[in-house]
Structure 1
Amino acid sequence: MQTPASGRTQSRPAAPPLMSELKVTLIGALLIAIGPISMALYTPALPELVRYFHTTDALVKMTVTLYFAGFAAAQLVCGPLSDGVGRRPVIVGFMLVYVLACILILFSPTIETMLAARVLQGVGAAMGIAISRAIVRDVFADARSFRIMNLMGLFIAIAPAIAPAIGGLTLEVAHWRALFAMMALAGLGAIFVAVFSLKETVQRDLSRIRPGALWASYKQLLQTPYFMLASLVIANAIGAVFALATMLPFVLMDQVGLSPTGFGFSQILQAGMYVAGAMAVQTILPRYGADRLVPVGLALVLVACLGLMILLPVWGTNFFSIMVPIAVYSFGIAFIMPAMLTNSLMPFPRIAGAASALTAFLQMAVGLLGSAVASLFQDPSLALLVVLPTMGFAAAVCWHFWRKQPVPTFHAA
């Protein structure tokens, strides 16, 4: 049985939550930020890595691309695995892999060793996005989930924007390896929080991770247009932010001429605009509802894409022609994330981990695809001009078809 698409996510009576809204938000923010930070913290050091390892720009860019690959693929494992064995043990296990990968990078003698370690690091960091969203779905099934998803979405978007500023400052006083030592410490912190602060939110049920059950869960999700279209809106909107990590360092440092520190601080504009958008959403959410904000966000995204397509050819490659459209884009996606994340998970309470994992996989896979397409262009400015508008327009198209879908009411067993 299905219900009309209006009134997409309905509140329901709930037992007292296992954890407070604030605690879930803070733990989720920590877990969810590790992945984007690990992708972007060292981006100011990309030109330095070329010189250090006596290699090429293309091979160094692969440290980002392969991280994406490991991160995206592992989503499909960590989410449903946490449905069966529990959220806490999966967090601890994957974070141990992450810390070991960071240590391997610290002692990498060649770029090839670093590439292999970055795949492993992506695998370890993969649990953050999928499991943090699943925890929200486990604990809250009402309007509070919108607020938490909004704040967690903030960390997904601003982490890769703020991280380069931190990385650039660190490079002023330390070797590039210090960046990966910082990541290792963050991983150890996540393990500490999972062991001593996080409460388990699902009952252990190993039947959920049998191959047949896993296939049934993913088959159900893949065959549900409501879920797939919602996830693709998210994947294109936020995946573009991840794809920017492989383009902006070379555009802003090599072409515009910013220093690593200057590049890092330039990203604060992007982060600040997302924060402003998220705060605006938090203010108007009770009055208008999350679903009504999505078309506003998509309109801003489309304006940003059109602005980039006009300003970059007219003004040429400079700071303002690049960062002003990106700032507007960042402001817009803050209006998209809460509703689309929550709507993608709510119909699937018993397979929330799998649903969250598949959403995160698509998000990272689209980001990886955008990065791969960008690497085909010799001119990174041209890559930016093609990739960002394509992903923004794709998000709008997916939402147009999603809004016509009925809300599924069946639940996976």
Structure 2
Amino acid sequence: MTAQRVSLIGGLMVAIGPIAMALYTPAMPGVVAAYESTKGVVKLTLTLYFAGFAISQLVAGPLSDAIGRRPVTVIFAAIFCVASLGALMAPTIEMLTIARFAQGIGASAGVAISRAIVRDCFQGDESSRIMNMIGIILAIGPAVSPTIGGLLVLHVGWKSVFAVMILFGLAVALVALVAMRETLPAPQPLRLAALGGSYLRLLGNRHFMTASLTVAGSVGAIYAQATLLPFILMGQIGLSPSSFGLAMLLQSGLFFSGALVARSVMKRTSAYRLVWPGLGAIALGALFIFLLLWADDPKTFRVMIPVGIYAFGIAFVMPAMSTAALAPFPRIAGAAAALMGFLQMGAGLLIGTIGAFFVDTLVAFAVLIPSMAVVACVSYAIYRLNPHLAEPEPRENVIGAAPPGRTFLREE
């Protein structure tokens, strides 16, 4: 497939998860009232969505290595549609919680398979440019989804957000059937023992883990914030669902702007040169978030501007480090992409879960999000201990000594 087609399809596949999350967050106060439930119970519907999303990637990626990217995309899009219908018709909060978990399972394939498709077709800076384009497309959906969700809740009712999710899931399935071509170079037998061994080798590979944790500490913060910001902006500051959607434009809008700037700069230099500036922006945003600990009466912009700065930096970090993590593993690209996605989503889930134990959500936000920035910066510093002078990342199966300053990685 062409770079443009891969970018468009990959962006659509990746966007399904964040869109399902962003559409739902303005509806959460309505869910509390409709089921006469509590904020803690309704927050569980978001947490379990993350859990289904994170864990199921470990199945979707290897399954796509075995039977193909295209059929797995269709299967998981169908699961997402059925789960969305279940959420729309859920008679109790317990059924809604189960449906949200199933939605996370259905959405999980998008992240792992889109990255695997890019690895199947492209390498190096070309791959980074595709990842950047996917990021630009990805930014559009979550940018407008909270606003759309807030307007739907205001004018139609909170259940209408699930009808929109059904339509989006159907669109992903249709695109996979009509426009997507199979990119899997050679099917790999799906053996549980071999799969477990692959995951163990990836977990023990310093190159993969440091690159993936750089992504997890960066991108994972977006998912962690999704569990915290609704309760800060709507619960503590007092924004309406529609105003909450508008406030979230600062996050998605600055991520979108960062992706456009990164794309322009990548025409003149390697994507890998953008990682340190991106981490600098993430660190700056994290510092301002940390200073919220001393904010007696926080305002919307004091919360969201640091979030936007953090998101701006993510757009610089994600393309190169996503490419770097997968580069040495073409034969198990699906499994590698799945584990990277699991670490990314798992980081968001872990931080969101820890945040639930804080009495004050703003304190949780100010402490936990900066900790993710520290993970990203430290992981990248360790990653650079083995210099990669000739980016993109080392070629696999190279025999013989590496040139000075260059570390070749054997394909796992």
* TM-score in terms of structure 1 length: 0.92
Percent pairwise identity: 47
Q: Deviations over 1:50-95 (max 9, x none)?
A: 1100011000001110001111110100001101100011011111
Structure 2 distance, partners of 1:217, 1:361, is 15
What one-letter code is carried by the residue in structure 1 that aligns with 2:109? M
- Structure 2 residue matching 1:93: 3-state secondary structure: helix
Structure 2 distance, partners of 1:311, 1:320, is 12
**2:53 aligned residue (67, 71, 86):** 71
Structure 1 distance, partners of 2:375, 2:185, is 38
Structure 2 distance, partners of 1:98, 1:71, is 11
Q: Which residue of 1 aligns with 2:109?
A: 127
Q: Which residue of 1 aligns with 2:8?
A: 26
Q: Does 1:352 align with 2:333?
A: yes
What one-letter code is carried by the residue in structure 2 that aligns with 1:61? K
Q: Which residue of 1 aligns with 2:317?
A: 336
Q: Does 1:409 align with 2:409?
A: yes
Q: Judge conservation of contact 2:125–2:271 (CA < 8 Å) in 1.
A: no
Q: Which residue of 1 aligns with 2:214?
A: 233
Q: How many residues align?
A: 393
Q: Unaligned stretches of 5+ in structure 1? A: 1-18
Task: Using the TM superposition, give the Cα deviation of residue 356 of structure 1 relative to its aligned residue in structure 2, in angstroms.
Answer: 0.5
What one-letter code is carried by the residue in structure 1 that aligns with 2:342? F
Structure 2 distance, partners of 1:405, 1:155, is 33
1:252-291 alignment runs, 5 A limit: 252-291=233-272
Tell which deviates more after alignment, 372-381 or 23-32.
Answer: 372-381
Q: Judge conservation of contact 2:221–2:348 (CA < 8 Å) in 1.
A: yes
Q: Deviations over 1:156-206 (max 9, x none)?
A: 456444321110111122121110111111111111111111000014635
1:10-409 alignment runs, 5 A limit: 19-156=1-138, 159-203=141-185, 205-207=187-189, 209-311=190-292, 313-314=294-295, 316-405=297-386, 407=394, 408-409=408-409
Q: Unaligned stretches of 5+ in structure 2? A: 388-393, 395-407
Q: Deviations over 1:99-130 (max 9, x none)?
A: 11011111101100011111111111100000
Tell which deviates more after alignment, 81-90 or 197-206.
Answer: 197-206
Q: Judge conservation of contact 1:98–1:120 (CA < 8 Å) in 2.
A: yes
* TM-score in terms of structure 2 length: 0.92
- Structure 2 residue matching 1:146: 3-state secondary structure: helix
Tell which deviates more after alignment, 330-339 or 157-166.
Answer: 157-166
Q: Judge conservation of contact 2:70–2:180 (CA < 8 Å) in 1.
A: yes
Larger relative contact order, structure 1 or 2 (CA cutoff 8 Å, min sep 6):
1
CA shift in 2, pair 1:138/1:206, >3 Å = closer
- Structure 1 residue matching 2:152: 3-state secondary structure: helix
Q: Judge conservation of contact 1:315–1:321 (CA < 8 Å) in 2.
A: no
Q: Which residue of 1 aligns with 2:398?
A: none
Structure 1 distance, partners of 2:135, 2:384, is 21
Tell which deviates more after alignment, 57-66 or 170-179.
Answer: 170-179
Tell which deviates more after alignment, 198-207 or 64-73.
Answer: 198-207
- Structure 2 residue matching 1:42: 3-state secondary structure: helix
Aligned residues: CA RMSD: 1.5
Task: Using the TM superposition, give the Cα deviation of residue 378 of structure 1 relative to its aligned residue in structure 2, in angstroms.
Answer: 2.2
Task: Using the TM superposition, give the Cα deviation of residue 316 of structure 1 relative to its aligned residue in structure 2, in angstroms.
Answer: 3.0
What one-letter code is carried by the residue in structure 1 that aligns with 2:279? L
Q: Judge conservation of contact 2:81–2:169 (CA < 8 Å) in 1.
A: yes
Structure 2 distance, partners of 1:199, 1:288, is 31
What one-letter code is carried by the residue in structure 1 that aligns with 2:41? L
- Structure 1 residue matching 2:231: 3-state secondary structure: helix
Task: Using the TM superposition, give the Cα deviation of residue 288 of structure 1 relative to its aligned residue in structure 2, in angstroms.
Answer: 2.7
Q: Deviations over 1:227-267 (max 9, x none)?
A: 01110111111111111111111111122121110100111
What one-letter code is carried by the residue in structure 1 that aligns with 2:118? V
Structure 2 distance, partners of 1:311, 1:321, is 8
Q: Judge conservation of contact 2:13–2:110 (CA < 8 Å) in 1.
A: yes
What one-letter code is carried by the residue in structure 1 that aligns with 2:20? S
Tell which deviates more after alignment, 399-408 or 229-238.
Answer: 399-408
Tell which deviates more after alignment, 84-93 or 285-294.
Answer: 285-294
What one-letter code is carried by the residue in structure 1 that aligns with 2:410? F
What one-letter code is carried by the residue in structure 2 that aligns with 1:108? A
Structure 2 distance, partners of 1:383, 1:160, is 23
Tell which deviates more after alignment, 70-79 or 152-161.
Answer: 152-161
Q: Judge conservation of contact 2:232–2:362 (CA < 8 Å) in 1.
A: yes
Structure 2 distance, partners of 1:309, 1:101, is 37
Task: Using the TM superposition, give the Cα deviation of residue 362 of structure 1 relative to its aligned residue in structure 2, in angstroms.
Answer: 0.4
Task: Using the TM superposition, give the Cα deviation of residue 97 of structure 1 relative to its aligned residue in structure 2, in angstroms.
Answer: 1.0
- Structure 1 residue matching 2:267: 3-state secondary structure: helix
CA shift in 2, pair 1:168/1:284, >3 Å = same
Structure 1 distance, partners of 2:410, 2:287, is 40
